[in-house]
Structure 1
Amino acid sequence: MSLYQAGNYKEAKTAFEALAAIGDRASLFNLGIMYFRGEGVEQDPVRAYVLMRIANEGVKNEDKRIAIVFNHLSTQQKQLAESLYTELNPLYSIKGINSALIPKPLTDKESRPEHRPIKKVIPEYPKKELKEGHMGYTVVEITISPEGYPREIEVKQAFSRNFTRESIRALQKSLFKPTQNQKPIYGHPFISTFVISGAEINSNFKNKLISNLNDLKSSAQSGDAIAQYRYAEEMFSARRFRGYLKDVDLEYKNMNHWLLQSAQQGLPHAQHQLGKNMIGGRGCKVDTISGNKWITAAAVSGFAPAQKSLAQSSLLSDDEVTRKSTTALGWLRNAAQSGHYSAKLLLAWELATSPLDGLRNGEEALELLNEKSEYFYDDLRIAETKAATYAELGNFKKPSNGRKKH
């Protein structure tokens, strides 16, 4: 609405379409108004009436504006409206949306196999944590390169810096199966666990995990959207401890159930993760179209990780170069404004290496590279991006790592 009221109709239309696609009735109605007035689109009173009509279905009192639009239609347009209603109703009706956007559940065994290392290096247990009897885990997201190397490691959750340090060292020495079609796999979740053998300590750790899960489940069952999301995320983190939690349902399909509850209440974090699970086939049938609808909804809500996900999808698409490059840069700029470090790094890379001269901007790229993040682990990616940026600026004497000359 802020975009619409500011007269930025193109972006407002994109946002309304994304939210209407996941069942937001107000967005669908507003989209109809834009078609009726010809704001950011070619004026189309027939489509306007149909969209407003579908948006208002199930509401006790019909919005008077629907009748006003209908009365503007000629006899021929009214006939066209009935035909268009038949076409669009399955797409935008609540029944149609629920049928399309709800994940089709599968057990873990039925789901698409997870990407596991073909060479897995076990992290060393930090001496300090071992001595103090601490157990825990580190949750990261990585990009699996076409050659199978873990790149762009981002820490999402960790018990301690000691666990994080050893997890990263081990993961950087691991290797995954080379990807199909020579395309990277973005945002792959990975967990490193640290478990001390010994009944007493394991029992304490188990009780702590169960207590946390139970507290979150109780809040989730009360309808708290944030708790529903956190409960699903905590279940993912606890999956590696299933041997200690045999009475807890940690299947992906159960996680998706709670992500869906949260996503339907509008939480972009849940929408993004649910979309990724549907695209990856975690606990459900693979559904790229519906998964991208959830991710797009999260992106137009301003959620930076979802904006970055859409940018990456665009760069991997088969669209012509200008379209996919401009789309990616648009989403990356939005994500970068939110302070998302890896989005800034990817934006800098695109600004330095875009195949389109008009999109390259070395000065902007260099500005983005001035920041650092304690949660991002890929010095090679940073060095590559700096080298490309200095090359774009024509400064071939500047060292790529900013410290040593090569």
Structure 2
Amino acid sequence: MRNNLISGLIFSFLLSISWLTKADLYDATLAYQNEEFTLAFSEFNRLAQLGNADAMYNLGVMYLYGQGTEQSAANAFAWFSLAKEFGIAEAFQTAQLVLQQSDDQSGLKDFVTLQRNRLADTYLLDSTLARLKQPNIVSTPSKTHDVLPDYPDEAVRQGVEGWVWLEFDIDQSGKATNIEVVDSYPKHIFTASLLNAVEKWRYSGPKQAHTLIYHFATYKGEQYRETLAIQKKAYEKQLKQNIDAAERGVAQVQYYIANWLSMKDYNAYQLLRYHWRSEEPVNELYLAAAKNGLDLAQYRLATQLINVGEHRLSVLWLEHAAQTMDIAKYRLARTLLTNTEQQDAPRALQVLTEASNNGHLRSTLLLVNTYLTRLNDKTQAKTWLRHGLTIDPEHPELLLLSAKLTDNQVEAKKLASQALKSASQRNWSSKAIRLFQQKLAN
């Protein structure tokens, strides 16, 4: 039986690792082993809704013995049966034992059908890997001017590798605007270097919500080769710890390994690839981390699914990631607003409002534009515009929107001039601002 099931061996290592910042299968299993059954049941139930087969099996155990919940043979049989369908072969035998001991075998089987219907979205989430094999339908502008980020000297000397995940818009001049750091590893080591480089990049055309994951691998720092031999033993030990943690359900480690496996130039790649030999280990590990409740992995899968045109599935993952990530709320709203279904608009406004109140600028921009162009509600547009200006008083697009929304022509010209000055200082496109100024002049 797999060792991340609670009926397997108890493990008590990696407790001090700083990765354990979010509740996952590992934490839920520890809660069970510490007899914190109510907490364990709640966490296993949350993970089961994501399609985590181990959590489903563990729910079966807890229902069978009435741990953290009322004892229920029907629920136990249902969760054991579902765990088998989601990949745990040995769960079938356990389900059959429960069935044989029941006086209402027909009722238990009917209850499984009911649970399957309740988990319709979970079954769709489980199709993620198959859907990701489809070709991308979202085009990306090509880079017309490139500058390599500097590999920080201290990172070269220490042999540090990592990545930075950015999301940004590309304006009409091909300039990256509204840049956000989604994730970086190690924290703060490479971020400034990449941001400095991206400021100089130019693309062939505009795009909203462009995703970039830039890998800082050792081939970019030749001096690192001199220190590799000295560090090799400790390096391999750390990798083995990572492999161990990933197999026991530490979601953040699963996510880290997926990132390391996505770049062959990482020194970690060869050892990790030897352990994960499947054809698509990267997406498999992202999915494992996503089913394990990690928002970053959920958001990563959602952005990939958007690129292959999987609207419904991307929305499901975004809904989960949006519980903790403002940028996921923003992308969820963008995705919902591209749909023609009217019932999606209220949900989009709700998550944009939540993110805007948290200070997420891109959400505020989208909120203003949605109220202005889609809902024709100038009052709400002005309210959120004022809020956006408290976040960035010199933002060119916000200043242009202010100019468009004022009824005073003199004030409109002043605001447009301020927008033009700010766009020039940031090297952003000024085309829309100049068109508005021409309209004012006529």
SS in 2 for 1:248: helix
| 2:384 counterpart residue number | 364
**CA distance in structure 2 between the aligned counterparts of 1:224 and 1:370, rounded to whole angstroms:** 39
Of 400, 414, 417, 1:387 maps to 400
| 1:330 counterpart residue number | 350
| Change over 3 Å in CA distance of 1:225–1:157 after alignment to 2 | closer
Structure 2 length normalisation: TM-score? 0.54
| Change over 3 Å in CA distance of 1:257–1:169 after alignment to 2 | same
Shift of 1:221: 1.2
CA contact (8 A) 2:251 2:294 kept: yes
Q: Which amino acid aligns with 2:214?
A: I
| 1:151 counterpart residue number | 177
Of 312, 322, 333, 1:311 maps to 333
**CA distance in structure 2 between the aligned counterparts of 1:220 and 1:126, rounded to whole angstroms:** 29
**CA distance in structure 1 between the aligned counterparts of 2:178 and 2:307, rounded to whole angstroms:** 19
**CA distance in structure 1 between the aligned counterparts of 2:375 and 2:125, rounded to whole angstroms:** 41
> Which deviations, in whole Å up to 9, do the C-alpha atoms of 1:76-104 show, x marking residues without a partner?
xxxxxx9xx99x98764579817853412
**CA distance in structure 1 between the aligned counterparts of 2:250 and 2:227, rounded to whole angstroms:** 32
| 2:165 counterpart residue number | 140
Shift of 1:388: 0.7
**CA distance in structure 1 between the aligned counterparts of 2:423 and 2:119, rounded to whole angstroms:** 61
**Deviation larger for 156-165 or 355-364:** 156-165
The answer to whether structure 1 residue 248 and structure 2 residue 266 are counterparts is: no
> Which deviations, in whole Å up to 9, do the C-alpha atoms of 1:225-245 show, x marking residues without a partner?
343334434555xx2634773
| 1:261 counterpart residue number | 288
| Change over 3 Å in CA distance of 1:146–1:218 after alignment to 2 | same
| Change over 3 Å in CA distance of 1:290–1:99 after alignment to 2 | closer
| 1:30 counterpart residue number | none
Shift of 1:294: 2.0
> Which deviations, in whole Å up to 9, do the C-alpha atoms of 1:324-355 show, x marking residues without a partner?
65443222112233444433443345456555
Matches within 5 A, 1:101-116: 101-104=127-130, 112=136
Shift of 1:401: 7.7
SS in 1 for 2:150: coil
**CA distance in structure 1 between the aligned counterparts of 2:149 and 2:381, rounded to whole angstroms:** 43
Matches within 5 A, 1:124-273: 125=150, 136=161, 139-143=164-168, 145=170, 149-155=175-181, 156-157=183-184, 163-176=190-203, 178=205, 184-191=207-214, 193=216, 195-198=220-223, 199-201=225-227, 213-233=239-259, 235-236=261-262, 239=263, 241-242=265-266, 245-249=269-273, 253-273=280-300
**CA distance in structure 2 between the aligned counterparts of 1:354 and 1:270, rounded to whole angstroms:** 32
Q: Which amino acid aligns with 1:241?
A: D
SS in 2 for 1:218: helix
* Alignment root-mean-square deviation, CA: 5.1
Shift of 1:167: 2.3
Q: Which amino acid aligns with 2:352?
A: L
Shift of 1:197: 1.6
Q: Which amino acid aligns with 2:221?
A: I
- Unaligned stretches of 5+ in structure 2? 1-45, 54-73, 81-94, 425-436, 438-442
Shift of 1:312: 1.2
**CA distance in structure 2 between the aligned counterparts of 1:186 and 1:205, rounded to whole angstroms:** 39
Q: How many residue pairs align between the two structures?
A: 320
**CA distance in structure 2 between the aligned counterparts of 1:126 and 1:140, rounded to whole angstroms:** 16
Shift of 1:191: 0.7
| Change over 3 Å in CA distance of 1:273–1:342 after alignment to 2 | same
CA contact (8 A) 2:144 2:201 kept: yes
| 1:73 counterpart residue number | none
SS in 2 for 1:103: helix
| Change over 3 Å in CA distance of 1:202–1:346 after alignment to 2 | farther
The answer to whether structure 1 residue 400 and structure 2 residue 419 are counterparts is: yes
| 1:40 counterpart residue number | none
SS in 2 for 1:336: helix
**CA distance in structure 1 between the aligned counterparts of 2:267 and 2:130, rounded to whole angstroms:** 27
CA contact (8 A) 1:103 1:256 kept: yes
| Change over 3 Å in CA distance of 1:291–1:315 after alignment to 2 | closer
Q: Which amino acid aligns with 1:291?
A: S
| 1:294 counterpart residue number | 317
Shift of 1:188: 1.2
**CA distance in structure 1 between the aligned counterparts of 2:49 and 2:126, rounded to whole angstroms:** 10
> Which deviations, in whole Å up to 9, do the C-alpha atoms of 1:292-347 show, x marking residues without a partner?
22222333x35423211111112333446xx6654432221122334444334433
| Change over 3 Å in CA distance of 1:288–1:209 after alignment to 2 | farther
SS in 2 for 1:104: helix
The answer to whether structure 1 residue 123 and structure 2 residue 148 are counterparts is: yes
SS in 2 for 1:400: helix
**CA distance in structure 2 between the aligned counterparts of 1:132 and 1:333, rounded to whole angstroms:** 45
> Which deviations, in whole Å up to 9, do the C-alpha atoms of 1:251-277 show, x marking residues without a partner?
993232223223323343332322333
- What is the identity percentage for the equivalent residue pairs of Structure 1 and Structure 2? 17
**CA distance in structure 1 between the aligned counterparts of 2:121 and 2:189, rounded to whole angstroms:** 49
**CA distance in structure 1 between the aligned counterparts of 2:398 and 2:235, rounded to whole angstroms:** 40
CA contact (8 A) 1:229 1:259 kept: yes
Q: Which amino acid aligns with 1:262?
A: A
CA contact (8 A) 2:170 2:210 kept: no
